[in-house]
Amino acid sequence: MVKIDKKVWQQAHITTGEKPLVLSELTDDCVVLFFYPRANTPGCTKESIAFGEHLEAFKAAGCAVFGVSADSLKKQQNFKAKYDMPFDLVADVEEQLCQAFDVIKEKNMYGKKFMGIVRSTFVLNQQGEVLAEWRKVKVPGHVEEVLQTVTNL
């Protein structure tokens, strides 16, 4: 089983919440981290709204949910407020979580190459072990698939 770096697991990450996120201090059975390229873009918005719509089911399964992007805290706060998201977003501006989960890849848009976040989702247990992962996620039906996986744990 893959385990994330202990330093990243125990480090405080800036969120839209009142206090930083320290993954090792969560008391939930598991945590879903979904990485998205950029706040307020169509796919990222649809995915975030879907996680929000299913949040109570994730909570019932003992699972916390957090969205992660490299956007600034201000952009994350605006994104959360605009869509009334019921979970916190992580502003990973230094890309520490992104690097730990290896979600930054070369992308190509209109012939221009750049480095960016590839939409990915991970389910972790309390020890920081990756129980399930999805990379190069397509938004339709994804949240329901993650919820089904979490429910079956």
Residues belonging to the active site: 44
Q: What strand order describes the sheet that includes 30-35?
A: 89-91, 63-69, 30-35, 120-125, 130-135
DSSP for 38-95 reads -TTSHHHHHHHHHHHHTHHHHHHTTEEEEEEESS-HHHHHHHHHHTT-SS-EEE-TT-
Counts for the chain of helices (H) and strands (E), in that order: 6, 9
Please tell me the distance from the alpha carbon of residue 131 to that of residue 9, in angstroms, as a whole number. Answer: 15
